[in-house]
Amino acid sequence: MKTISENRCFGGTQGVYSHDSAATNCEMTFGLFLPEEAKHIPVPVLWYLSGLTCTHENAMTKAGAQAWAAEYGVALVFPDTSPRGDGVANDEAYDLGQGAGFYVNATQDPWAPHFKMWDYVAEELPALLGDNFALDMERQAITGHSMGGHGALTLAMNLPGRFTSVSAFAPIANPTESDWGQKQFGAYLGSDRSTWAKHDATLLMREKGFDGPVLIDQGGSDNFLDLLKPEALAEAIMAKRQDGIFRMQQGYDHSYFFVSSFMEDHVSFHAEYLFA
């Protein structure tokens, strides 16, 4: 593992690190904020998964999360959204290939050799973090935005007991019924739709739900509402009688202005359960 940068931030440290990944077969970069408490004791972890076209850097610099994480003594992990590099498959479209990993393990060519983002986020990066930093990996929570909200919800529901809580900002909520999902799942996973179901938050909510509390914020003026399909997830939450809160935030769009406006709510939501 290589240290790219470390900056003093709200009494703690905002670091950026890279390492060779066995899961993605390339070098990966991630951001990690450690609050001051990490100098003395292992601290709980809040994952933030970013959306289409993003890297580890977008939320790290735009979401305003470090101030609230420092207040509660929580670490923040900012993974990248896909494998990258000259030898990694890509596409001219912004919503496929590099920057658009969708947090799945690709089985189809040319994506399969590198696009193993599920294994990377679920297994490899947690192990690396636990081995190298003062983190309490028994206390983890997860959130994300857009494609990252999709990833946060699907990881949480597929890994029972891993996360104390899950939240999302404007998640791609029903990708098997959306162009933001059907295109990518077809490319990465193939035409057998039965392999897509574990990556659809609405279908997972209907089938199994989450073994903890859920918080969803969706902007009412989001220009991607038809692609995100938040109403499908809201209906599934109600039908499952899930312990959850779904909030339609009127006037807000899909940008980081929206994310940063409600970041305090999400960090405090997770802190309540991480320290329960």
pTM: 0.98
At residue 17, φ and ψ (nearest 5 deg) are -135, 155
User: What's the Cα-to-Cα distance from 6 to each of 30, 95, 147, 174, 276, rounded to whole Å?
Assistant: 12, 31, 27, 38, 30
Sheet with 135-144: list strands edge to edge: 2-9, 12-21, 26-34, 75-79, 43-49, 135-144, 163-169, 214-219, 244-249
The range of the structural domain enclosing residue 174 comes to 2-275
Structural domains counted in the chain? 1
**CB–CB of 34/255 below 8 Å?**
no
pLDDT in tens, 31-50: 999 999 999 999 999 999 99
- Residue of 21, 50, 82, 146 marked catalytic: 146
Asked if 178 is an active-site residue, the reply is no
The CATH number assigned to the domain holding 57 equals 3.40.50.1820
Asked if 5 is an active-site residue, the reply is no
pLDDT in tens, 35-93: 999 999 999 999 999 999 999 999 999 999 999 999 999 999 999 999 999 999 999 99
Q: 7 by DSSP, 3-state: which?
A: strand
- Residue of 145, 254, 266, 270 marked catalytic: 254
Asked if 254 is an active-site residue, the reply is yes
